[in-house]
A and B are shown apart, each in its own frame.
Chain A
Amino acid sequence: MSISVTHISKSYKKVKALQDISFEVKPGELFGLIGPDGAGKTTLFRILTTLLIANEGSATVAGFDVVADYKKIRSSVGYMPGKFSLYQDLTVEENLNFFATIFGTTIEENYDLIKDIFVQIEPFKNRRAGKLSGGMKQKLALCCALIHKPKVLFLDEPTTGVDPVSRKEFWDMLKRLQQKDITILVSTPYMDEAALCDRIALIQHGKILEIDTPQSIVKHYPKQIYNVRANNMYQLITSLNDYEHHHSVYPFGEYVHYTDNRTDFNPKDLIQYLESNNLSEVEIAKTVATIEDTFMELAK
């Protein structure tokens, strides 16, 4: 196993950041930790990257124990913290050189690993890191985390605050890295990115809700979801919430995802009900569950 976490718990004074977390990540896997802000994702990353010591439980990374063999872990993992943490007053090239040197390697030695990413920022290699755009900064940080050819890569919310195009590019890069035998543990608050992982763990309030492939997690969704639309979104949501048979009501883009708690649900009843509430242009259609629906259902 590349990463193995068994019964890890961590609390800061009264706040329980992690409660009895266990999971395993296979070599070469792209594993996602999906959860809202404050779910405990960063704490878990800090434990696995040996920056923090857990109160209970044990964990291994690349076969090394996070407490006993922390030194070996530090030379075989790459870590990209959520907050941009390179030297803003050094240039792109200097940052890369700096990290290569402290890992006892050179840019040339592992150039093929970072080549795909580095060519995109190479035109700016003499620009100071602080002057780069958000997406460029992320690419540089990824290069720095990869420069020593790590076995395991930890990415803590790498795409937060990055534009959609750069996000897409970033995930394409991760997919390519995965083919070079690097195990990747990535955390994100974005549910749409979850579908790009091999397996995901849904995490909230320091507890893991479910671990599975994105496809199975969606399949486990117990109910039929309906897309509901009407002329007035706000009134639609309040009316649906007042409907006696409703199970869940979540706005989802231009639609509302609605589930009913009856087994013999007939959409016509609902249309009638909504029209009696002065809503017009009511549309109801079946749809498939997404990871977000699953998360909301589990987090209920």
Chain B
Amino acid sequence: MKTILYIVQKEFKQIFRNKGMLPIIFVLPLLQLVILSNAATFEVKHIKFGYIDKDRTSTSRALVEKFNASTYFDVLTNFPSEALASSAMLKGEVDVVLEIPHYFERDLQKEKYNTLGVTINAIDGAAAGVENVYVTQIVQRFNQNLKVELLQVSDQQIQPITIETIPLFWYNETLNYKTFMVPGILVLLVTMITLFLSGMNIVREKEIGTLEQINVTPIKKSQFIIGKLFPFWVIGMGLLTVGLILAKLIFHVPMLGSLPLMYLYTSIYILVILGIGLFISNFTETQQQAMFIAWFFTVIFILMSGLFTPIESMPKWAQLFTEFNPIKYFVEVMRMVMLKGSGFMDILPQLLKTLTYAVIMNGLAVWRYRKTT
């Protein structure tokens, strides 16, 4: 026990003496949290909107006016022809082009039916999807107003039944993206920092040759490993704390669930990450190698964590793969506890899976660790 304490103490001394490392551990992640949380939004604003009005009636102008009134669209120009509109899109001057056909107003009144052409620049698929939703919403609302105007007394009997949906966004009523991005980004930071630091730490001792000296001492494998990894567990928990404070103070993210539960889960989660880090350092000889392998896994874990793209939209095999992604569980738990106020029983499945993961990863890593070369 005394030995472990001494190694922990030594490790902390080394971390705090490394002037280059301190800001990397504490300042950069928090900067990232502040910048990313403000930048990583799914809302698309200032969409460059162009239209081709072939009808030139009060109805068509009213439709264009709807887009003009929306805060999401910047109405640019009225293109005289389709060719001009498509060349403008090619140059990137417009993102969305609305085409109002000839006799739009007349056909609407006569046949109660018409079609609009919408062209969306889909170079950025995610943005295009969002833009499509906005356009549809505006056209639908326009449609409803129009119905009232066009309705005549004689039409009353044949008025079609319309079903309107009124969505309610539970746990995040205003669909504030920061509310769900901040917990996710916090997860990334805790993961990245603890994985990189633990992965490189033992390799560093290999690199500078101190491991050879340590290996010729009677120190036990477990003492050495615990002593080396415990400081990073503490740093991970510290990062979580600072991150939560920032989330509350800067982003006003609701924290409905219990904090102790969040800490309990995180304390187990960090064990998984430390296990992976140790595993990596078993198979690498230099810090550079360890860095690249750690980076490789983080990128896969992050992109498949459900943070940026929903897991539900992934193909079956990928969804299966995410079962082995610790970040996925952490993101889920953080969002559940913070936004929904989930209790212990609700996150029990994630907790058990993470615990199993931690036991397996650390078991493998310790088993692979050799005190000989």
Contacts and interface: CB of A to CB of B under 8 A. Distances in A.
B6 interface: yes
Nearest to A78: B216
Contacts of A81: 209, 212-213
A99 B17 CA distance: 19
A287 B46 CA distance: 96
B218 A104 contact: yes
Interface in A55-88: 71, 74-75, 77, 79, 81, 83-88
15 contacts: A51-B372, A52-B372, A74-B216, A74-B218, A79-B216, A87-B210, A89-B14, A89-B17, A97-B6, A98-B7, A102-B214, A102-B217, A102-B219, A103-B217, A144-B213
Nearest to A141: B213
Contacts of B13: 89-90, 94
B208 A85 contact: yes
Contacts of B10: 87, 90, 94, 98
A127 interface: no
Contacts of A90: 10, 13-14
User: How big is chain B's contact interface, by range?
Assistant: 20 to 34
A51 B219 CA distance: 14
Contacts of B211: 85
Contacts of A89: 13-14, 17-18
Q: Which bracket fits the contact residues of A?
A: 20 to 34
Contacts of B210: 85-87
B215 interface: yes
A10 B14 CA distance: 37
B209 A83 contact: yes
Nearest to A103: B217
B222 interface: no
A204 interface: no
B interface secondary structure, majority:
helix
Contacts of B372: 50-53
B91 interface: no
B209 A49 contact: no
Nearest to A130: B208
A46 interface: yes
Nearest to B209: A85
Interface in B198-246: 208-219
Given A81-B213, A84-B209, A85-B213, A101 B218 contact: no
What are the 7 closest A-B residue pairs judged by CB atoms, nearest first? A85-B209, A75-B218, A101-B6, A79-B216, A85-B213, A83-B209, A102-B219
Interface of A: 46, 49-53, 71, 74-75, 77, 79, 81, 83-90, 94, 97-99, 101-104, 128, 144
Nearest to B218: A75
Given A46-B373, A81-B209, A104 B216 contact: no
Contacts of B57: none
Interface in B173-216: 208-216
B77 interface: no
Given A90-B13, A97-B6, 17 more contacts: A51-B372, A51-B373, A71-B218, A74-B216, A74-B218, A75-B218, A81-B213, A83-B209, A86-B213, A87-B10, A88-B208, A89-B14, A101-B3, A101-B6, A102-B214, A128-B17, A144-B213
Contacts of A98: 6-7, 10
A51 B217 contact: no
B2 interface: yes
Contacts of A49: 216
A105 to B, nearest CB: 11
B216 A52 contact: no
B209, B210, B216, B218: residue with the most chain A Cβ atoms closer than 10 Å: B216
Interface string B32-59: 0000000000000000000000000000
B215 A51 contact: yes
Contacts of B373: 46, 51-52
B202 to A, nearest CB: 14
B204 to A, nearest CB: 11
Contacts of A86: 210, 213
A71 B371 CA distance: 11
A79 B14 contact: no
B251 to A, nearest CB: 37
A90 B11 CA distance: 10
B6 A102 contact: yes
A86 B3 CA distance: 17
Interface in B339-373: 372-373
